[in-house]
Amino acid sequence: MSLVLEGVSRTVGGEVHLEDINLTFERGEFNVLMGLTRAGKTTLMRVMAGLEPPSKGRVLEDNVDVTATPVQKRSLGMVYQQFINYPAMSCYDNIASPLRLAKLSKAEIDRRVRAEAERLGIDHLLDRMPLEMSGGQQQRCAMARALVRDAKLILLDEPLVNLDYKLREGLRAELRELFKDRDTVIVYATTEPEEALVLGGKTAVLHEGRLVQHGLTAETYRNPATVTVSQVFSDPPMNLIEADVRDGRMVVGGLLDEPLPAHMSDLAPGSYTLGVRPHHLFANSVGAHGIDLAGTVEVAEIAGSVTYIHLEVGGHDWVVLERGVHMVHPGERFNVHFDPARLYAFDHEERLVASPATERG
Amino acid sequence: MDKTEYQKAWFMVLPVLVLVAFTAIIPLMTVVNYSIQDILGRSAFFVGGDWFRETLQNPQLQAALGRQFFFSFTILAIQVPLGIGIALLMPKKGWQASAVLILIAMPLLIPWNVVGSIWQIFTRGDIGLAGYTLNNVLGVSYNITRSSLDAWVTIILMDVWHWTPLIALLCYSGLRAIPEAYYQAARIDRASRWAIFRYIELPKLTNVLVIGVLLRFMHSFMIYAEPFVLTGGGPGSSTTFLSQTLTTMAVAQQDLGPSAAFSIIYFLIVLAVSYVFYVTIMNMQKERLADVGGGK
Amino acid sequence: MSAATNGQRNGVLRNRLLLALYITFTLLPLYWLLNMSLQTNREILGQFTLWPENPTLQAYIGIFTDSTWYMGYVNSLTYVLMNMTISILVALPAAYAFSRYRFIGDKHLFFWLLTNLMAPPAVFLVPYFQLYYTVGLFDTHIAVAMAHCLFNIPLAVWILEGFMRGVPKEVDETAYIDGYSYPAFFIKIFIPMIRSGIGVTLFFLFMFSWVELLLARSLTATNAMPIGTVMTRTSTASGVDWATLSAAGVLTIVPGILVIYFVRNHIAKGFALGRT
Amino acid sequence: MARIELRNLGHQYAPGGDYALQPMQHVWEDGGAYALLGPSGCGKTTLLNIISGLVAPSEGQVMFDETDVTHTRTEDRNIGQVFQFPVIYDTMSVFDNLAFPLRNRRMDEAYVSQRVQHIATMLGLEGALNRRAKNLTADAKQKISLGRGLVREDVSAVLFDEPLTVIDPHLKWQLRRKLREIHEQLALTLVYVTHDQTEALTFADKVAVMLAGQVLQLGTPQELFERPAHTFVGYFIGSPGMNFMECTVDGSQAIVDGEHITVDPAMAEAARQHGGSLQLGIRPGLIRAAGEGESGHRVQVHSVEDLGDYQLVTGYLGNHRVHVRLDESEKIGSDGLQVVFPTENALLYADDRLVG
């Protein structure tokens, strides 16, 4: 089972929401739609579901053109970000609704509803009404309804964004288990890079209605095709700095003048955008890491297991990711240290021209 | 709520269109028909704008129009502030809230002619509580069948009694929609009671007040039953408003041309006012949607 | 709540007093109507008293036995219920279309409905009279029910649209995805979700049709004559039967009072044409 | 600026009913930034409402410096508050919004405009002063709300009730940075309620982690990370949360399914005396892969997730599930993982409470 989008475009009231999207989603693995808010993720999902017609292009399910098929006739499950359930029905009836419409036997419905509720940990809430349940439980009920029917296509539109952070962490870890070895195409939209990386599979990066990159999730993360992907598919975004390459050296006025690292040696002279990941920056010259840049601290953000230190480096806002909890005060001097072998380089058209050799070959 | 494009939605709207067309467009066409012709039994011939000119110059109709506008603006000037005041007084929580709500809303449940009858009985000199008390106890000469001032005051008082609850209910629901955080912020800023009204409550009430004023203007502009029952338009024609004037012209005197022209003018005024309010209501709706950050 | 100083306390007292004053102003005329309805004409016209000396239900019994009176109620209720059924059935799909979809001329149609809602009935007197006369429907309940559609259908569409906008569009889509056909979704899922909206709409349809006098009177003669006409006839005849008129008045208020308790939380949204 | 003391403060919604807030004793120093962190329904908002005066507690006292304000009206507590959604006076300009509290206190106009100019510059609103407050973005409106508290030089404390809820995720860290800067410039007592650990740990000097009406621990982000006083704190702070494994104690060794892990001897002794159900707690990020020739404990690998800047290994020590957070360059053999539990990071818990 595969879902193919051919030249899908969508303009609404003169505003372009999607522009010439060509994508193929395979069965049995996660297909993540990554992009900022308003990048067109929701519109693309609604077109795939048949809830909105594309202005141009076709949607094919196993080479059958389903572009105009009414959504009732499609084998589909969808989870919205605002935990949509039928308020006037109990959790049990909510989950059973698609099965009743498919006219399954009562016993079969009961078995499958309880099994799915068990898998999502809400089997003790089946006779509750949606409004009597917490946000997390309501979303689990909505997910159970989408999963119970073994549909060909399951769409999840940022399902965790409205949950408390700890609930989100818990449910995110369960997602892989929940969707493992199901004979269905799973498409998951999110703005959070970590969610894409947890779910694995393939990731398509959308920006302002256009497909920017599509590939294996880890691969796309490690080799962002453009500067945009390096910003969208990284939290905090990759640190950037404009530099000139001439006669074997890379120069940033007054800040940096170093020989090119091995993986960038064949770059033609000219202006480039160099990038380095926050977790490849280290504080205060720990060991021989090569390049040293002076910066001043703007603010330190502690996120429990890690600390994000926001710095001003040569007029750029950079972020250092430190493991553990480190209190630093705004205004402090902070020398940032990194190994040039970890540098990314983008040409003047913002396309990736050099990326650090992935550690594990 | 960003709506999707769907032309087939026309089929859902068709029954409404057919029924309301049958009850509005066809009759209106006959009115237009009459307003530009002079019909005598079988024959009818085109008179163009004569009836319109005649209606506009007809002193009796001009007087009725003047009275109507005066009546509508007077009741608006009284009912809007009074309605807001009452809404501010109404309790927000507990059983008292429901009890007061029902008591206040009582006059809105009464058929319009019965309101006329109630006030007719209430203000009669011989058997009415108000009439009897004014004349015999307070020594004030009060008779709505003879003094047009008494008739006017009574009609206005009756309309205030009948419709102020509408404004009060709308404002009450508007006030209840204000989140507690606004009052907490006002306490923190040590805002005076007047400042709370001026800067928090009133701005939040503009939505419902616009609708209240629309409804009140429209209903008062077409008032018929209450004054007809109470004063029959008298004494003389001092309290004969537009609807009654049109009814007597059309039904009693049967001169179809002028009454049709008059109907068109009457309806155009209503159309213009409705348009102004419709645009205001729709803009407010869009603005409120923007506040809530509607749609992705 | 945080401690209230006495400044606040007599503020609250002042408010309660003013409110009580206004409620008295509201109830006094109603009390007087009730007072009159419990007396005989002789006692009414006799000594002026603040409450009935020897209260009697004679006026009410008179109404329930005299066919011209109780038929007035029956006729009124008949065309009101007819109008309510037509209006709600026709308005539900239309309101759904307005709240969910954009289509050619949707804004103009919605505005046109508002103008009909606001149209003075007097304007339509003559054309209706002729229309129903030629069609042979004069002096029938359906005539009045149809005439009242002029303002009641627009009213129903506006109020229902206001309530329907409160239901997220995603609920409809989830139902379609589950496999509900449009009608099945509408009846099994959507209607139960806007139950309170439908209740309030029915209340307003009842009220505006029940209170209307002009059209109801001019489209009927004998066998569909509404209570309004019956009442206006008695008050214009010489030697007015005050007791019966008062009793008839009280009875016309009863339906409203019975129902208002159930819709009290949404009545404001109804009056605001669903716009709050 | 005020020192806030909660003297045996507790609250029951209905007398005799269960406690919305268990009686607690805390002192929040003047000029300190404190955060109330916990899942929804843990009582953090109730506590904030008691401090703001919206709710009167059923028992105990609230002290601002030396004055008992338990039953004082909100107006007289001289606090500032920022709410979950922007609460501003729509019809006023930004300038009038900020000047409103001062004008209500009958300050003279020169002083008012000087204060408003100063605070607006600090908040980055100086450019928008004469615009109507209604048309600004959500984060600018929240700054106005904050500004109404800051303009008053005598404000005793500024309270925040999950102020970033309606802010677009990508703008959140800028507003967090602004709040942090303001706290550095004005030594104000700040109390911040949230369910998000990043907001709490970034914003506050001290964080109170709450659960079911109880403050489980009040500590610096460092303490919460390195020495969580309760298993819930270990779970709630840090992602993924701390590993907990039932164990028994023998000498200075904690025994988990036969694996002997050396712990701090004093802690082991205290645990043995305390008795009850013992658990060993260690953070995934503090478990180290054993170096060449170093003897470690064998963790049977269940799954490895490549999360970009680190790898998360989910495995089993005996039959206890364990998360281990390794650097992205760490090589993991298919036959399992030898790990080392550094003694200073291995903590012992008796009946869910940190020992010693």
Same domain, yes or no: D326 and D219: no
Domain boundary among D175, D201, D230: D230
Quickly state the pLDDT bin for A157 (edges 50, 70, 90). very high
CA dist C81 → B114, C75, C91, C98, C145 (Å): 20, 10, 15, 25, 8
Same-domain status, D35 and D87: yes
ipTM of the predicted structure? 0.85
The position carrying tokens 């401090």 is: D51
The string of DSSP letters for A248-279 reads: TEEEETTTEEEEPPGGGTTPPSEEEEEEE-GG
Total domain count for chain D?
Answer: 2
CA distance B167 to C210: 21
Chain D residue closest to B179 (CA)? D87
- As beta bridge partners, residue A276 has A239
Mean confidence (pLDDT) of chain C: 87
Query: Which residues of chain C have a CB within 8 Å of the CB of D76?
Result: none
Using the beta-carbon criterion (under 8 Å), do A299 and D328 form an inter-chain contact?
Answer: no
Dihedral of the CA atoms D87, D92, D98, D100 (nearest 10)? -100
Q: D78, D152 in Cβ contact below 8 A?
A: yes
CA atoms within 13 A on the CB side of D61: 9
Q: Answer yes or no: is D329 within a domain.
A: yes
Tell whether D61 is covered by a domain.
yes
Does D283 touch chain A if contact means CB atoms closer than 8 Å? Answer: yes
Half-sphere exposure of C100 (CA within 13 A, CB side): 25
Which is higher by pLDDT, D242 or B249?
A: D242
Res B32: pLDDT: 87
Whether B281 contacts C275, CB under 8 Å: yes
Provide the CATH topology of domain A239-354: OB fold (Dihydrolipoamide Acetyltransferase, E2P) (2.40.50)
Mutate to test the interface with C, among B3, B7, B13 (most CBs of C within 10 A): B13
Q: Is residue D236 part of a domain?
A: no
Could you give phi then psi for residue A86, rounded to 5 degrees? -80, 110
D29 and D172 in a single domain? The answer is yes
Backbone phi, psi, residue B159, to 5°: -65, -40
Paired strand residues for A213: A205
Domain-terminating residue out of D173, D200, D230: D230
- D315 with D270, same domain: the answer is yes
Q: What is the pLDDT of residues A290-326, one digit of tens each?
A: 788 888 888 788 877 888 888 888 888 899 988 877 7
**D136 is a domain residue:** yes
Above pLDDT 70, what percent of chain A? 97
Question: How close does chain D come to C1, measured CA to CA in Å?
Answer: 6
Condensed to tens digits (0 to 9), the pLDDT of residues C58-76 reads 889 988 998 888 888 899 9
Pair (D225, D346) in one structural domain: no
Q: How does pLDDT run across C8-47, given as a tens digit for each residue?
A: 677 888 889 999 999 999 999 999 999 999 988 888 888 8
Q: Which residues of C touch D55 (CB under 8 A)?
A: 2
pLDDT tens sequence across B175-217? 988 999 999 999 999 999 999 999 999 999 998 899 899 889 9
Chosen domain end from D230, D264, D280: D230
Q: Going by CATH, does the domain composed of A2-226 fall within 3.40.50.300?
A: yes
pLDDT, one tens digit for every residue, chain D (356 residues): 789 999 999 999 888 788 889 999 999 999 999 999 998 888 999 999 999 999 999 999 999 999 999 999 998 999 999 999 999 999 999 999 999 999 999 999 999 999 999 999 999 999 999 999 988 988 899 999 999 999 999 898 999 999 988 887 777 877 888 888 888 888 889 999 998 888 898 888 899 999 999 999 999 988 999 999 999 999 999 888 999 999 998 888 889 888 888 888 888 888 888 888 999 999 998 998 888 878 888 888 888 888 878 888 988 988 899 999 988 878 877 677 889 999 888 999 999 999 87
Range from A183-197, A271-285, B22-36, C238-252 that averages highest in pLDDT: A183-197
Q: pLDDT at position D275, please?
A: 83
Is the CB of B203 inside 8 Å of chain D's CB atoms? yes
Shortest CB distance from D39 goes to which of A166, A194, A302? A166
Please report, for the domain that includes residue D40, its CATH number: 3.40.50.300
Encoded tokens for D340: 């080392």
pLDDT digits (tens, 9 = 90+) for C72-102: 889 999 999 999 999 999 999 999 999 999 8
Question: Closest Cα partner for A212 from A348, A15, A35, A59?
Answer: A35
Q: What is the pLDDT of residues D144-199, one digit of tens each?
A: 999 999 999 989 899 999 998 888 777 787 788 888 888 888 888 999 999 888 88
Q: Does D97 touch chain B (CB under 8 A)?
A: no
Average pLDDT of chain A, as a whole number: 88
Task: Please indicate, yes or no, whether residues D263 and D217 belong to a single structural domain of this protein.
Answer: no
* C10 residue type, one letter: N
Pair D216, D97 in one domain: yes
Spacing of C-alpha B151 from chain mean position: 19
Which residue from A38, A42, A52 is facing B4, i.e. has the nearest CB? A52
Helices (H) and strands (E) in chain D, counts: 10, 22
Is the minimum CB–CB distance between D100 and chain B shorter than 8 Å?
yes
The token duo for B262 is 């008059």
pLDDT at B288: 74
* Sequence ranges of the domains in chain A: 2-226, 239-354
| Residue D205 and residue D252 in one domain | no
Q: Does A38 contact B296 at a Cβ distance shorter than 8 Å?
A: yes
HSE-CB for A246 with a 13 A CA cutoff = 8
A38/B4 Cβ within 8 A = no
Q: How far apart are CA C39 and CA C246, in angstroms?
A: 10
Tell whether D237 is covered by a domain. no
Q: Which domain holds residue D262?
A: 243-354
pTM to 2 decimal places: 0.86
* In a shared domain, residues D43 and D174: yes
Interface test with A, best of C178, C180, C185, C196 (most A CBs within 10 A): C178
